[in-house]
């Protein structure tokens, strides 16, 4: 007797496309043991700084194994308030305007669940983080993709926003610096976006997870612009800047009624984030800044290295002002970005992710993560150069 189990899967879940990242992961996994250099990762190569790990061990030794407040430990929320005020120039009340979550991932999900009615429209710039569109679809909302372009170094422009806007748009999701493009906006561009949001009464969800990894100039948060804090949910976490991806800690800051609504969903679905990870996050905020700067300086040099080599090879790319991703164009290679990525993996054993995994506007590009040692990056660039040479023949 065979039962068609598939029919039990909810329609909107069945309709979600399989992630392009997943496809590529499986392809790379098949080449296990073959000396593949992967530039396909989305996380730091550094292990979490020891003092942070040690703080977690200490917390365990002290028997910190209980649930915490739904909002997260108050000491951690106070430290977050201090950190956000110092680095982003926005003040939040630790008692009511900050929610500690299981990564920025959960914070995004919570915000969308707390704010979207079925059919609401959510704008996001594309190419973008792979989870944005599925997260929107999972709450029965509609995604409205706003294209960003290589000619603008993938900064979001107010013009593109206006062109893509349709009645019913309620939320704008921002991710600056951006995964996968490394695109950012300067203050003037951000002000134009803010003005548009006020004009159209849009709420902003600002995912600033790569903000510490800004190499030139300073990062500006849209929440810090006049009249924006009241319509912005600021999302941030520890995964990238503190090299803490596996700890799963993030946070959301925003107006009390919005944080309260998110907290409602969080308390019934997650209860609270892991106390051990919260203890580690607290240590990161109190004493981790030097490590962040050291890692950022290394990413900076690695970026300069790969961007220079890519351009020499003919993989045209701008120097991303933030994040640890380069997003070169494959248009000079005479093949699609997918064929390029697959060919490069087969022939030279270097993994990059085809840009189409990040939405239609990523066509013709690949994402190369430079969170890998100098030695590996140099070898990877040499191999890419060799592969590009065979394509041009």
Partner 1 sequence: MNPVLKLLLEGGHLSTAQMAQVVGLSEAEVQQHLEQLKKDKIFLGWRPVLDLSRAEAAGAAVRAVIEVKVTPERGGGFNRLAERLARFDEVESCYLMSGGYDLLVFVDGSSLQKVAAFVSEKLSTLEGVLSTSTHFMLRSYKEGGFLIDQNEASSTRLTVTP
Binds ligand PLP (CB under 6 A): choice among 94, 103, 359, 362: 103
**Which entry of partner 1, ligand PLP, none binds 378, CB below 5 to 8 A by partner kind?**
partner 1
CA-CA distance, 81 to 71, in Å (whole number)? 13
Q: How far is the CB of 80 from partner 1 (least distance, A)?
A: 24
Beta strands 353-354 and 232-237 are unpaired
Within 352-371, the residues that bind partner 1 by CB under 8 A are 353
Helices (H), the chain: 11-14, 20-29, 50-61, 74-88, 103-115, 132-138, 158-164, 187-199, 256-269, 275-287, 289-313, 337-348, 374-392
H/E segment holding residue 37: strand 37-38
- Decide if 200 contacts 232 (C-beta within 8 A): no
Q: Which residue number, 43 or 191, has a Cβ lying nearer to partner 1?
A: 43
Q: Is 362 in the site for ligand PLP (CB under 6 A)?
A: no
Residue among 216, 255, 213 nearest 232 (CA) = 255
Binds ligand PLP (CB under 6 A): choice among 69, 142, 189, 245: 245
Q: How far is the CB of 11 from partner 1 (least distance, A)?
A: 24
**Which entry of partner 1, ligand PLP, none binds 239, CB below 5 to 8 A by partner kind?**
ligand PLP
Q: Which residue number, 290 or 297, has a Cβ lying nearer to partner 1?
A: 297
Q: Which residue number, 159 or 312, has a Cβ lying nearer to partner 1?
A: 312
What percent of the chain is helix, strand and coil (3-state, nearest 5)? Answer: 50, 15, 40
Within 70-129, the residues that bind partner 1 by CB under 8 A are 129
Q: Which residue number, 206 or 298, has a Cβ lying nearer to ligand PLP?
A: 206
Residue among 300, 342, 246, 336 nearest 53 (CA) = 246
Burial, 17: exposed, middle or buried (Cβ in 10 Å; 0-12, 13-18, 19+)? exposed
Q: Is 262 in the site for ligand PLP (CB under 6 A)?
A: no
CA-CA distance, 166 to 168, in Å (whole number)? 6
Point out which residues bind ligand PLP (CB under 6 A): 42, 103-105, 129, 175, 179, 207, 209, 237, 239, 245, 250
Point out which residues bind partner 1 (CB under 8 A): 19, 21, 24-25, 28-29, 36, 38, 40-43, 45, 47, 129-131, 179, 297-298, 301-302, 304-305, 308-309, 351, 353, 373-375, 378, 381
């Amino acid at each position: 007797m065979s039962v068609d189990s598939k029919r039990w899967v909810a329609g909107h879940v069945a309709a979600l496309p399989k992630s392009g990242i997943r496809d590529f992961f499986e392809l790379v996994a098949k080449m296990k043991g073959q000396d593949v250099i992967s530039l396909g990762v989305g996380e730091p190569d550094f292990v979490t700084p020891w003092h942070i790990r040690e703080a977690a061990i200490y917390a365990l030794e002290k028997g910190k194994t209980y649930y915490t407040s739904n909002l997260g430990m108050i000491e951690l929320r106070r430290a977050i308030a201090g950190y956000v005020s110092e680095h982003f120039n926005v003040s939040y009340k630790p008692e009511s305007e900050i929610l500690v979550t299981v990564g920025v991932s959960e914070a995004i999900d919570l915000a969308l669940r707390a704010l979207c009615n079925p059919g609401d429209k959510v704008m996001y710039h594309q190419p973008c983080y792979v989870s944005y569109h599925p997260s929107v679809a999972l709450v029965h909302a509609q995604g409205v993709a706003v294209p960003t372009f290589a000619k603008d170094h993938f900064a979001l422009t107010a013009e593109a926003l206006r062109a893509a806007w349709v009645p019913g748009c309620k939320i704008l999701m921002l991710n600056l610096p951006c995964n996968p493009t490394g695109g950012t906006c300067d203050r003037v561009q951000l002000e134009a976006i803010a003005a548009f949001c006020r004009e159209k009464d849009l709420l902003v969800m600002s995912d600033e997870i790569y903000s510490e990894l800004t190499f030139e100039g300073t990062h500006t948060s849209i929440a810090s612009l006049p009249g924006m804090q009241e319509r912005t949910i600021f999302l941030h976490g520890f995964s990238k800047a503190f090299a803490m991806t596996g700890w799963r800690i993030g946070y959301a800051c925003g107006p009390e009624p919005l944080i309260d609504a998110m907290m409602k969903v969080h308390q019934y679905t997650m209860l609270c984030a892991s106390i051990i990870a919260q203890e580690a996050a607290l240590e990161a905020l109190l004493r981790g800044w030097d490590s962040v700067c050291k890692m950022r300086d290394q990413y900076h040099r690695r970026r300069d290295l790969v961007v220079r080599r890519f351009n020499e090879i003919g993989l045209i790319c701008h120097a991303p002002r933030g994040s640890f991703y380069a997003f070169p164009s494959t248009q000079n290679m005479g093949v699609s970005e997918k064929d390029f990525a697959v060919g490069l993996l087969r022939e030279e054993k270097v993994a990059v992710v085809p840009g189409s995994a990040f939405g239609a506007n990523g066509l013709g590009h690949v994402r190369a993560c430079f969170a890998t040692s100098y030695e590996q990056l140099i070898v990877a660039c040499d191999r890419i150069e060799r592969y590009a040479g065979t394509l041009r023949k």
